[in-house]
Amino acid sequence: MSDHIEVGPIKDIPPEKIVDAARFVKLGRQYSLATSRFPGMPLFPGHPPFQVLNFRSPPGIKAEGAQPWGPPNDAGLGYMAEYLMATSHSGAHIDALAHMTVGEDNHWYGGGNTAEHLTDKGPSVGDAEKLPPFFTRGVLLDAPGYRGVEALPAGSPVDAGEMQAIADWEKVEVRPWDVVLIRTGYLAFWPDAENMAAHKTAGPDLSAAEWLLARGVVATGTDTETYEVQPAPDRGVPANPQPVHTKLLIENGIYLMESVYLEELARDRVYEFLFVALPLKIRGATGSMIDPLAMV
C-alpha cells in the first residue's frame, strides 16, 4: 500500500507549516501533556492493566553469580532492568490507523482488513510502525473554561456549535494541519478514579467531528480515555457505539489521541502553541504511548 494510505493526510503537511509552527516558541516555556504511568493506574476497562515487572536486580545478579558482562566483576557492579507489560493505549497515547475496525470485513482506514492484513504479530498495514512524528500548530479548546465549570458532567457532548463558540471565546481559529486538543476537565481529578468516574465520559460528538474535518485538522485529542462522548448520542443505523472514531480514524485517517493532560495549558490560558509528539514505531502495535509537549 502507498505511504499516504498507511500514514493518512498528515503525510502531505507542507514544510512551511512546520516552520510556521516553530515560530510559536517565543518564551521557551513547555507543558507536558501526559500524566505518569504506574501499576494500578486508571485505564479504559477494555485494556489490560499496566505492569512494571522486575527482571534483573543487583541482589539477584549476586545471588545467581551472573556475569552479564563476563568476569571479572570485583567491584560488585549491578544493574536493574524490567519488563513493561502494558497496552500501547496506556495513559497519553495515539491510536494507529489500524486500531479500530468496522463492518463485516473488519476494515480500517485505507482498505486494511483482518482477513488480509492481520497477522499473529498484529496488523501489517496502518500499524504503529507507520505512525508519523507530529510537529505542528496545536490548539486547545477548553470546554469547561468556556462553560465556567471545573469539569464537564458525565456524558456531556461537545457539539459543532460549541466547538466554534469556544474558539471564538478564546479568539483562536482552527486551521488546516492543526492538532486540536479538547479539554473536558476529566484529568483534573487524576488519579482519583472515583472522582474521575463522576465525569465519564464527556467529549466531542459526531457534529464536532464533522466540524474538525471541515477545518482540515490532521489529529485531535481529548483528556478522556475514549476521546468521544460516551454513550454516543448519535449512533445512527446500524447502531455504532463510537461514530466519532469511525468518522475520523477509520474513514478519514485523522489521528486520535486520548488521556492527554490539558490542565496546565487551560490554567495559563494557552490556546495555541507548537505541538510535538513522537510516537514509538512498534511493528504490529495498534497505538503508541506518547509524552507530548506544548511549547510557547
Region 34-60 average pLDDT: 95
Residue with the three cell numbers 477494555: 46
Beta bridge mates, 295: 30, 274
Cβ–Cβ < 8 Å for 263, 222 = no
Across 147-172, average pLDDT: 98
Average pLDDT, the chain: 96
Provide the CA 214 distance to its chain's centre, in angstroms. 21
pLDDT higher than threshold 90 for residue 3: no
Confidence bin at 2 (pLDDT 50/70/90):
low
Burial class (CB in 10 A: 0-12, 13-18, 19+), 83: exposed
Least confident of 71-80, 118-127, 283-292: 71-80
* Among the listed residues 93, 105, 97, 102, the one whose alpha carbon sits nearest the alpha carbon of residue 126: 97
Confidence of residue 61 (pLDDT cuts 50, 70, 90): very high
Which is nearest to 167 in space by CA: 142, 184, 144?
142
In the predicted model, is pLDDT for residue 4 greater than 90? no
160 three-state secondary structure? helix
Answer yes or no: is pLDDT of 183 > 80. yes
Residue span(s) of the chain under CATH 3.50.30.50 come to 3-35+88-295
Q: What is the mean pLDDT of residues 65-88?
A: 94
% of the chain with per-residue pLDDT over 70? 99
Mean pLDDT of 213-220: 98
CATH architecture of 3-35+88-295: 3-Layer(bba) Sandwich (3.50)
- Neighbour tally for 111: CB within 10 Å: 13
So what's the pLDDT on residue 200?
94
Which three cell numbers mark 27? 518564551
Question: To which residue does cell 461537545 refer?
Answer: 158
| CA–CA dist 31, 276 (Å, integer) | 10
Q: Which long-range contacts (CB under 8 A, 24 or more apart) does 291-294 make?
A: 291/32, 291/33, 291/34, 291/92, 292/32, 292/33, 292/34, 292/92, 292/134, 292/257, 292/260, 293/30, 293/31, 293/32, 293/33, 294/30, 294/31, 294/33, 294/138, 294/140, 294/265, 294/270
CA–CA separation, 126 vs 109, rounded Å? 8
Whole-prediction pTM value? 0.96
pLDDT surpasses 70 at 1: no
Sorting pLDDT into bands at 50, 70 and 90, what band is 5? confident
